[in-house]
Structure 1
Amino acid sequence: MNLKIDISKEGSTQTLVAVAGEIDAYTAPKLREALLPLADEPNAVITVNLQNVSYMDSTGLGVFVGLLKNVRKNEGQLILVELSDRLERLFSITGLSDIIDISSKSEGGVQ
């Protein structure tokens, strides 16, 4: 159950995060620890590429809900890109696709 997280800054407010592996009860704390500090910056735009995420459970969804709350509190933006069909369906059936900006194509973190 490995999870790889690569974070790269693009300017003062843009952050691109590439996640690979499985997001579950074991790996979600590592993801939360990596992402939440990014949301503390005012006007942060955090783009998370989930192309290489093979599995996500409710614990992973909880990480993104918490991240979204913090990002919005600081007037920022959270964008999830390149989700597999399986992950898109997961976000859709839970209703999270209605509140989180999800794009099927990577936009390089720029909007």
Structure 2
Amino acid sequence: MTSSLIQNDRVTIRHDVINGWSVVEIDGEVDAHTAPLICEVVCKLLHEGHHHLVLDFRLVRFIDSMGLRMVVAITKRIRDSQGSLRMACASSRTLKVFEFTGLDDAFEFYDSPEEATRRRPSADGLASWPRS
């Protein structure tokens, strides 16, 4: 069951659990205004015991440097919780931002949440993050 966690004029954040993964769907902009909200949602989920997450960026129209910093900060928190992180990102525009900054090599990207959640989370999670 998908639940809407945050909704305002810039972003909507929804959450669903699929095959042991907590999928966080972000619809809108990921910037200085919305990054703290997304981080808050992920931290709340971690606190509730959701340690294996998929950030679904398929509906993201814009991401800036604050959004990228938020992704790195979230990843560190997930790693500290012995969790896992995957990204669903089919938009070439959003994926190019990760590629341009070199962060595309540090994360696992999938075309859809269905593809990202096909395999259950592994025991080692983000233990070896960041990858070289």
Both proteins in one fold, TM over 0.5: yes
Match of 2:32, SS? coil
Provide closer, same or farther for how the CA distance between residues 93 and 21 of structure 1 changes in structure 2, counting only shifts above 3 A. same
Deviates more, 1:76-85 or 1:101-110: 101-110
TM-score between both structures, scaled by the size of structure 1 = 0.85
Structural mapping, 1:56-67, within 5 Å: 56-67=63-74
Q: 1:40 deviation in Å?
A: 4.7
Which residue of 1 is the match for residue 87 of structure 2? 80
- Unaligned ranges ≥5, structure 2: 1-8, 120-132
CA RMSD of aligned residues (A): 2.1
Q: Indicate the structure whose relative CO is greater, using CA pairs within 8 Å and at least 6 residues apart.
A: 1
Q: Report which of the two structures shows the higher radius of gyration computed on alpha carbons.
A: 2
Count of residues in correspondence between the two structures: 110
Q: 1:56 deviation in Å?
A: 0.4
Match of 2:37, SS? helix
Give aligned-pair identity as a percent.
27
TM-score between both structures, scaled by the size of structure 2 = 0.73
- Unaligned ranges ≥5, structure 1: none
